[in-house]
């Protein structure tokens, strides 16, 4: 790969013909149409936060270096941005009055409102640009390794770069656009942001049954993403019809796996809604995220809920109460030993030889307060086994 340094590009040249696509949230062109700012393997523009974009402009006005920028040479006079997209888009957006910086006394200044000398200072600023020339493979491999400036690419952004092509382009237009009105609905079930490719990743994860890399590799040149979209919609439609109420902790569950496992069963949404609501309010259910699979599975797998158990002070109180009663009646302090015929019917167990038990099991509606608790000797507790 050939690399040459150029220090003659000014902000004015780079921003010549700058277009910002508000809907897709990306810079399109610069250098009078000769620079592609967001080639398809690039991540979305994420600096529009009134911090990082403002920081870029303040750096220029203070004369601080902006860091290295890399272009990939694609023709005689044409380039695409390999690294520096976030900074260039911030500059382009500022120069086209898309946001303001704070001046003295917190007065906001967009570019138009800046004094002429400051406008000039920005436009005349020269960028330090490395021009890279090489094969697609070389450029891609190198792109993976320059993951050094600013916010690192996350795993999916990297995969989008590696497998860039018709598939990624189509996927991004459907799943990576924060302005898509569906994003809010999807966000109830999927954690992360459209912009950082979390929804796109989930869509591929679901349709590929967790084989994201393989699926992206196999479909790299396939721009028809109908199978991904229809599978994705099936999962979302299924979750939202089985669980009519939306809870915060539904976000980020493995809905794709749950769909595969349970979607052929039929559920009554209002029964399910009541079950979920009761479990959500149940103090003894420690793992609220486990409620959905517990209900889908017919309310059997209690371990999904991580039921709260008696704490030490409660056990001590129960032990003292039972032992005092047992001693005054000359019977065992294990109520099950006391009614047995065996040698232990009068045995006073040490507290370390006993375990707490629900008189009425939690699964049968028993609560975990002391009135529903008793200490049993370990062997009786094991034998009962449904606390």
Contact positions vs Zn ion (CB under 5 A): 334, 336-337, 377, 380
The distance of closest approach from Cβ of residue 345 to Zn ion in the complex, given in angstroms and rounded to an integer, is 9
By C-beta, is 26 or 380 nearer to Zn ion? Answer: 380
* Burial class for 371, CB neighbours closer than 10 Å (0-12, 13-18, 19+): exposed
For Zn ion, the closer CB: 14 or 377:
377
8 Å CB contact between 258 and 296 = yes
Q: Which of 17, 175, 213 is nearest to 96 (CA)?
A: 17
Q: State in angstroms the smallest separation of the CB of 359 from Zn ion.
A: 14
Regarding beta strands 69-73 and 79-83, do their DSSP bridges make them parallel or antiparallel, or are they unpaired?
A: antiparallel
Q: Which is nearer to Zn ion, 197 or 323 (CB)?
A: 323
Supply 264's token pair: 């052929």
Q: 59 or 345, CB closer to Zn ion?
A: 345
Q: How far is the CB of 251 from Zn ion (least distance, A)?
A: 45
Sign of the CA dihedral running 143, 146, 147, 151: negative
Smallest separation (angstroms) from Zn ion to the CB of 384? 10
Q: Which helix (H) or strand (E) holds 26?
A: strand 26-27
Name which of 225 and 337 has its Cβ closer to Zn ion. 337
Report the nearest approach of Zn ion to the CB of residue 350 (Å). 13
Picking from 326, 365, 367, the residue whose alpha carbon sits closest to that of residue 344 is 326
Q: What interhelical angle do 198-207 and 255-262 show, nearest 10?
A: 30
Closer residue to Zn ion in complex, CB, 122/375: 375
C-alpha 287/C-alpha 200 separation (Å) is: 28
CB of 332 to Zn ion, least distance (A): 7
């Amino acid at each position: 790969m050939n690399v040459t340094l150029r220090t003659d590009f000014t902000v004015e040249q780079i921003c010549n013909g700058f277009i910002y696509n508000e809907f897709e949230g990306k810079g399109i062109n610069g250098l009078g149409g000769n620079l592609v700012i967001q080639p398809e393997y690039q991540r979305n523009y994420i600096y529009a936060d009134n911090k990082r974009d403002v920081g870029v402009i303040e750096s220029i006005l203070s004369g601080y270096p902006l860091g290295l920028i890399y272009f990939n040479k694609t023709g005689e006079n044409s380039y695409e941005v390999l690294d520096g997209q976030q900074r260039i888009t911030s500059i382009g957006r500022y120069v086209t009055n898309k946001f303001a910086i704070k001046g003295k006394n917190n007065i906001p200044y967009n570019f138009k409102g800046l004094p002429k000398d400051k406008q000039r200072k920005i436009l005349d600023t020269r960028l330090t640009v490395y021009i890279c020339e090489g094969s697609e493979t070389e450029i891609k491999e190198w792109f993976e390794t320059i993951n050094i400036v600013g916010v690192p690419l996350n795993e999916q952004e990297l995969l989008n770069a590696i497998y860039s092509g018709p598939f990624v382009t189509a996927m991004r237009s459907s799943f990576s656009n924060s302005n898509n009105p569906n994003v809010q609905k999807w966000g109830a079930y999927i954690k992360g942001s459209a912009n950082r490719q979390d929804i796109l990743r989930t869509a591929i994860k679901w349709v590929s049954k967790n084989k994201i890399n393989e699926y992206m590799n196999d479909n790299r040149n396939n721009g028809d993403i109908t199978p991904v979209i229809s599978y994705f919609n099936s999962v979302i439609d299924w979750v939202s019809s089985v669980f009519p109420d939306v809870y915060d902790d539904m976000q980020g569950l493995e809905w794709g796996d749950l769909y595969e496992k349970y979607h052929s069963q039929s559920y009554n949404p209002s029964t399910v809604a009541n079950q979920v609501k009761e479990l959500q309010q149940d103090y003894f259910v420690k793992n609220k995220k486990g409620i959905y699979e517990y209900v889908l599975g017919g309310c059997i797998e209690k371990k999904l809920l991580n039921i709260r158990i008696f704490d030490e002070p409660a056990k001590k109180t129960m032990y003292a109460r039972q032992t005092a009663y047992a001693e005054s009646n000359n019977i065992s302090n294990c109520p099950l030993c006391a009614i047995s015929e065996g040698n232990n019917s009068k045995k006073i167990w040490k507290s370390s030889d006993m375990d707490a038990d629900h008189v009425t099991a939690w699964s049968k509606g028993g609560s975990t307060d002391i009135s529903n608790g008793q200490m049993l000797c370990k062997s009786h507790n094991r034998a009962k086994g449904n606390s």
